Amino acid sequence: MLPQIQVMPPERAVARHPTPFMAISIDFLGWRTGLVEAV
């Protein structure tokens, strides 16, 4: 059910998620980018 989980740098995650809160969450999780994207 979860999307493809791939490791990407925080900068890339921030670009994908314009929301600051989301960006911070992704940065904090790090390798759990896919999990955050599912939310």
pLDDT score for 20: 54
Q: Across the chain, what does the average pLDDT equal?
A: 54
Say whether pLDDT at 1 is over 50.
Answer: no
- The backbone region for 7, taken as left when phi is positive above 0, alpha when psi lies in -120 to 50, beta otherwise, is beta
pLDDT score for 39: 46
pTM of the full structure: 0.16
Q: What is the pLDDT of residues 20-33, one digit of tens each?
A: 555 555 555 555 55
